[in-house]
Amino acid sequence: MLRTNNTVVICVPPPAAGAPCHNEGMVEPDALFDLDPPATQRDSFAALAELPLSDLVSPGWAQALADVEPQLRDVLTFLGTEADAGHHILPSPSNVLRAFAQPFDQVRVLIVGQDPYPTPGHAVGLSFAVAGGTRPIPRSLANIYRELDADLGIPPRVHGDLSAWAGQGVLLLNKVLSVRAGAAGSHRRKGWEAITTAAITALAQRTTADGSPAPLVAVLWGKDAESVRPLLGATPIVSSAHPSPLSASRGFFGSKPFSAVNRLLVEQGAAEVTWELPALP
């Protein structure tokens, strides 16, 4: 097998060492992602605790989270201890701080979640999202799509990749950023709350060049998300019951959150979010 640019050329039979490949008909494009990415220091939670804050999060977030950097290192060290003890921690080290890879100053919508999905293969570091190939999608996300359809007429997707929202400045932030596999809520009160409290507070306190508040709309679904309301100051809030199957029928369905968010963004002079996701991830 030879690699040229972004193409894998498979030679059958394999040529002798150094010989050219003459079987030009067998060509396959590179995979869109590596199923087994090479090991790096990011593959270890303990190693993350040793990296500079500027290597862990984007520059704006590094400044916003500077005061809680010691607490962040403590919780990453805790995750390393958990992993060393044999616990399966979700999401992976490369995704645990994924929400803070987004540019801080470009966030215009905050959607607050609880903690990551505890099902292996589901958590990807963004609240409510899963990897594009995950089937079936979680029921909470299916209910979000159902309400999106009812609100804006956007047909539900079969995938749960919400990165198109994140790319438009929608911050999908869980209050707690990790969990033991199969044990929902297992990493609450382990230190993440201090980090996400600082993050939400910093977002709400942003200002533009003329000193006015930077455009931001917060989406709070359920009592757990409602607990951050005091951090948001004058930030416009869209709130309802949680989209979980246990509560969606008690106020989430019919709440029309997506059109409400866009209306509040326009009132602040910001562009609307394009909520329609690609048909395929």
Nearest CA to 160 out of 143, 135, 197 is that of 135
Structural domains in the chain, CATH included, are 102-268 (3.40.470.10)
Give the residue numbers marked as catalytic: 115
Q: What is the mean pLDDT of the chain?
A: 88
CA distance readout (Å), 8 to 12, 13, 20, 21, 25: 13, 15, 14, 12, 12
In angstroms, rounded to a whole number, what is the distance separating the alpha carbons of residues 182 and 190?
A: 17
pLDDT(28) > 70: no
pLDDT(256) > 90: yes
DSSP codes of every residue in 81-141: HHHHTT--EES-TTTTTGGGGS-GGG--EEEEE-S---STTT--SSTT---TT-SSPPHHH
Query: Is 165 within 8 Å of 262 (Cβ atoms)?
Result: no
Between the CA atoms of 95, 100, 103 and 108, what dihedral angle is there, to the nearest 10 degrees? 110
**pLDDT tens for each residue of 151-180:** 999 999 999 999 999 999 999 999 999 999
201 bridge partner residues: none
Burial group, residue 93, by CB count within 10 angstroms (0-12, 13-18, 19+): buried
Strands (E) located in 169-273: 170-174, 179-180, 217-221, 237-240
Q: What is the pLDDT of residue 157?
A: 98
List, edge to edge, every strand of the sheet that includes 27-29: 2-4, 7-9, 27-29
What is the pLDDT averaged over residues 241-256? 98
Which two tokens mark 129? 């999202």
In angstroms, rounded to a whole number, what is the distance separating the alpha carbons of residues 275 and 101?
A: 20
Query: Is 132 within 8 Å of 160 (Cβ atoms)?
Result: yes
Residue 202, classed as helix, strand or coil, is helix
Query: Is 118 within 8 Å of 181 (Cβ atoms)?
Result: yes
Q: What is the pLDDT of residue 24?
A: 36
**pLDDT tens for each residue of 185-197:** 999 999 999 999 9
